[in-house]
Every structure is written in C-alpha cells, then in structure tokens.
Amino acid sequence: MAGKFTYTVLPRVTLFEKTSDLYVLGSIDTDCSEKNARESNYKTQSIEDENGRTILHNIPVILNPDGSIWKHGSLYILSRAMCYDPVGDQTLKTYAKNLVDFRNTLAASNVDYLSTPLRRHWRPTYFYKSELYEKTQQNTLGIRTANGRIGTVIGLYRYLKLRHDFHPTQNLWEEKQKKIHFTNSKGFQQDRTVIVTDLKIKYSEEIPSGEYIIDGGKLIPYDEDQQKALIKVLFKTKNTEIILGSLIAITSGARLQTAFTLRHENIQDPKKIKGKEVSILIGRGTNVDNKFNKKMHIYIPAWLNSLIYTYIHSARHKERCDRFDKSHGESQYIFLTQHGNPFYISKKDERRGADAPIQDGYSIRQFVHKSLAPILESEGATFKFRFHNLRATFCMNLLEDKLRQLSKPQNTTNIMLVLGFVQKRMGHKDIATTERYLRYKHEKALAVSAQSEFETHLQAMAQSYSFQ
C-alpha cells in the first residue's frame, strides 16, 4: 500500500451550504429551465447545528492516501459534532483514529468498505472484526479497545444508511435486543433493553482482585499513612497550583478536569461564607468540566476556599493571568502554568486547540513524572501517585466518616443511607459503584482516615504554607 489513510484536526469549522442565487435573491424565474438552474452561480449561506452553532472547533477530517478528504467518514464525524448532545473533541479524535485504522486495515487486503459480498468473511465489518480478533489473541490490542473500534464502524454504517442512501445487499451484522440488569440511583434493581450485534468480541468480565476499585478506571485509595506522606511531599514541591488542585481533589472528589477548570467565579469571599463548606456547581451549563458533562455540585471546605481566594489575589497568579488573558474577568481560570496556559483547558472554551495543542493535563502529568515521583521515591514511599486516586481516597475517607457516625449496631437501612449520601457527593450514576468502596474497605480492612479528621490535619498543614 503506497499511502495510508490519516486524519487532521481543524481548529475551526464554519457550517454553511451552497445555495443557488435564484433562491437567495428570492426571485425565482419561472421561465428558467432546470438546466439553467443547475448551471447558475452558487453562494454560501450559514447554517446552524442542533444547538444553534454556526462554528465548531477541533473537528477531525479523514484524508485519503492522496490527501483528498474521505467524504463519508469525515461527514459522519461532523454529524456527531453537530447533534443536540455532541461528544467531546477528544472522543471525535478517537472516532477518527478508529476509522483510519478501519480503512487502512481494509486497504491492506483490497477490501472495499462499501462492498457487501455473499461470503460473509469478506464483508468489511466481519473482515475487520476478524483482523481485530487476531490482534486481541496476540495481546497486541485490548478487547475493550477492539470493541470500541467496531462500535465506531457500526456508527458509520448506521449513518450511511440513514443519510447517504446506502443499501447493502447483504447484512453487515446481525443484531438482537438484550436485557441488562442494573441498580438505579435509589438502590432498586431495574432492567434496560439494549441492542447488541454479533460483531462484538466476547470476553469474560474481569473478576476484581480486591487490589483496586473499578470506578472510571482502576483506582487505589491511599491509606492514612500514604495520605500524610503524599501531602508532605506535595508541599515540598512548592508548586502552588498543583498543591491547591490536589487539595481540591482529595477534599471534594473532583476529577482532574474539574479541579483544573475551576474559575474565579467559583471561589467566594471568605467574609461571606456561612458554614464549613462551599458548594460549586459543575458540568452542563457551567464553565467547569465534568465527566460526561454531568451537572452536579462539589463541596470544598471553607478553609480551602479561603486559601484559594488568597491565591487568586496574589501577584504570582496575576502575572500568569496577564500572560493568558488579563480581560477574562470572573471566568478566568484559577490554575495557569508559568507560561500563562491553562493546565486543563475547558471543553467549552472556544480557544481550545485554536492556536496551540489542546492542554488536557499534560503539564500535570509531566510534573508528577519529573518532580513529584522522584521525591516520593527518595522519601521511601512504596506507592505511586495517580491524580485520579485522590478521588478514590476522598470517597473512602467520606465513607469512613459517615459510617463512624452511625449508631451501633449498624443496620442495612442506615448503611444504605450512608451509601446514598456518598453516591451523591461522588456523582455515581449507579449505587453499585459506591458499594464497591464498601466492599474494598471490608476486604482490605483498610486503615483510612475519617474525612473530618484528615481535613483537620490537612488544614493545619495547608494554612502554614504561603500561597502568595
């Protein structure tokens, strides 16, 4: 194969359609023949997507080996960006990568993606599945990754059937309905009907080993000694932005993209705070990112709010703001690098990817690798730092705190109330996810801190540090 399919990302895409001058001018000539209408000049006219946008950002375009645009694949990705509930730009990029792999895999064996021969193995979907399956057997590709690629391909063909008058002569897959069981937010068992296809590569669900918790990844909560060691090392780095971002995560359960897309407007004047916590709305309709754009509240301690308030009025922070956008006002990011870039630029930010690579936490990961990890190792720590583990640590601390407050003996009803409270704070869709923390605690006999006790220790350390 001389060349390969590739993709590129367009920072800015304007939505428009070609419209005949006859119609734009509103003076249709009834004597004008169809031939003349076809040959008339055209002009562009802006159109809106389902959310009223005429401009989209960071849209991948798939290129043929000769550099021209692969129309079907690129339009499919564009359609996902234009829908009412669009996926994020990183997900769009994943779609592009998947479709590029699909086309390159087919091209290597001269399989036409629009052909549907009688022999099932040579139909593009089944052929691609067999190639991916071989890679999973050779342990060069994860089964979940393979099924993700197949899912993108199925989405492409559904789109072609619906929008591009594509009518395959043979089935590209067989599908059936299947009922799955799940626990709703109230703790009740329910069924949901889903459509499954025979393209999915089957595998056995991993049996939890008890060494980690499955919650958007494999998370390991830090025990009490590890938490204290980690906080001690964090302060040794003297990186104010990473310290504050980590404190937000371990005291509220915020994910990395949430902690580092917080804005000035989310921090209150300490003089106006009533109570021990500050509520911050995140997700849909706000400037702060959350997983799946879910709208919910996180709660940070009032003392931490005060420290951040001091920081955002410091000379250090103002210098960074001047390098980024001094006129950004209350929607200014709290956490900026020394070069004035957000550590994590919001998915809603129109500047995302416009004039620089998308900042999605790379600077934080580099800091952990080059600065934090070496200090941890020199201190004799036997654990590795992952930012997302701070979220799991918060959940375990909170769960321990609430369980300690229960009267003895602890009955099932009271435990379910505790789980419901923790589920709400964590934003877990399914209470079964929260229950995994309780099982982990029992199986590991984990010595964790109660959140209230740990925060007292944390507050004492943090307030002795200068956040100027």
Residue 144 pLDDT exceeds 80: yes
Percent helix, strand and coil across the chain, each rounded to 5? 45, 15, 40
Largest CA distance in the chain: 90
- Judge contact between 423 and 434, C-beta under 8 A: yes
Which of 27-41, 84-98, 311-325 is the least confident region? 27-41
Residue 184 pLDDT exceeds 90: no
pLDDT of residue 395: 93
> Which band of pLDDT confidence, cut at 50, 70 and 90, is reported for residue 185?
low
Which of 14-18, 47-51, 222-226, 447-451 is the least confident region? 447-451
pLDDT of residue 204: 67
Residue 190 pLDDT exceeds 50: yes
pLDDT tens string 169-179: 999 999 888 77
Q: What is the mean pLDDT of the chain?
A: 86
For the stretch 196-235, what's the b/e string if a residue is b when 16 or more beta carbons lie within 10 angstroms of its beta carbon? eeebebeeeeeeeeeebbebeebbbbbbbebbbbbbebbe
Distance CA 64, CA 187 (A): 50
The pTM score is 0.76
**What is the DSSP-derived secondary structure letter of residue 428?**
-
Full DSSP string of 328-359: -GGG-BS-B-TTS-BSB--TT-TTTTTSS---
Provide the token pair at 157: 């063909």
Higher per-residue confidence, 464 vs 8? 8
287 phi/psi in degrees, rounded to 5: -90, -5
Helices (H), 31-183: 34-39, 71-82, 89-108, 124-137, 143-163
pLDDT of residue 437: 87
pLDDT tens string 46-62: 888 888 889 888 999 99
